């Protein structure tokens, strides 16, 4: 299957690590604020909505995306649909915008761009220990801290 992937920044030094793709929906939103006695304000907001746990993070821009051809078992299925993700992005944008602009009115919001994309989590072994690396911040986690040693007790977002 062909999917859009957020450009990995970090990759383990392992020669050929495995990976899992974690679902997000990225939004570029433009907020238009009317203000009494002042000029109107226009703000751009970038929301990264986690389609597994329904959380939203603010980004500095729209991350570069690559298209990868991958096997379906490498892709985590989202638990959140587009409508819920868009609602979460809009709520996050309004909260952020209202902390920066004083206005009697809620902003008019335009969706400039949106894409479903996946964050790469590298899976590799080092010194006999199975690890997972976040490709955007380089943080490493022991696999058994997310999944029980028997492989069935799932305590993290990588459970399938």
Per-residue pLDDT tens digits for 47-93: 999 999 999 999 999 999 999 999 999 999 999 999 999 999 999 99
**Per-residue model confidence (pLDDT) at position 27:** 98
Question: Per-residue pLDDT tens for 98-148?
Answer: 999 999 999 999 999 999 999 999 999 998 899 999 999 999 999 887 765
Give the phi and the psi of residue 79 in degrees, each rounded to 5.
-100, -5
Q: Is residue 70 exposed (0-12), middle (13-18) or buried (19+ Cβ within 10 Å)?
A: middle
**Left (φ > 0), alpha (ψ -120 to 50) or beta: where does 128 sit?**
left
**Per-residue model confidence (pLDDT) at position 150:** 57
**Per-residue model confidence (pLDDT) at position 52:** 95
Q: Kindly state the tokens that stand for 132.
A: 């997972």
pLDDT band at 158 (very low <50, low <70, confident <90, very high): low
User: Higher pLDDT residue, 15 or 5?
Assistant: 5
Question: Per-residue pLDDT tens for 39-50?
Answer: 999 999 999 999
Q: What pairing do the DSSP bridges indicate for beta strands 65-69 and 129-134?
A: unpaired
CA nearest neighbour of 134 among 46, 51, 12, 26:
12
**Per-residue model confidence (pLDDT) at position 72:** 96
**Per-residue model confidence (pLDDT) at position 147:** 64
Residues 6+ apart with CB under 8 A from 134: 10, 119, 121, 140, 141
**Per-residue model confidence (pLDDT) at position 155:** 47
* CA separation for the pair 147, 19 (Å, rounded): 15
Q: Are 123 and 20 in contact (CB under 8 A)?
A: yes
**Per-residue model confidence (pLDDT) at position 143:** 85
**Per-residue model confidence (pLDDT) at position 160:** 41
* CA separation for the pair 8, 135 (Å, rounded): 5
* CA separation for the pair 92, 47 (Å, rounded): 8
Q: Are 151 and 46 in contact (CB under 8 A)?
A: no
Residue 13, helix vs strand vs coil: coil
**Per-residue model confidence (pLDDT) at position 154:** 53
């Amino acid at each position: 299957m062909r999917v859009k992937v957020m450009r990995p920044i970090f990759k383990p030094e392992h020669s050929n690590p495995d990976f899992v793709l974690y679902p997000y929906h990225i939004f570029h939103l433009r907020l238009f604020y009317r203000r009494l006695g002042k000029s109107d304000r226009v703000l751009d907001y970038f929301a990264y909505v986690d389609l597994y746990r329904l959380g939203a993070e603010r980004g500095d821009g729209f991350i570069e995306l690559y298209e990868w051809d991958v096997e379906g078992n490498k892709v985590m299925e989202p638990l959140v649909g587009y409508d819920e993700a868009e609602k979460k992005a809009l709520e996050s944008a309004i909260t952020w915008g209202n902390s920066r602009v004083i206005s009697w009115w809620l902003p008019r919001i335009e969706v400039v761009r949106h894409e479903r994309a996946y964050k790469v989590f590298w899976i590799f072994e080092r010194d006999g220990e199975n690890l997972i690396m976040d490709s955007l911040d380089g943080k490493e986690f022991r696999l058994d801290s997310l999944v029980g040693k028997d492989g069935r007790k799932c305590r993290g977002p990588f459970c399938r």
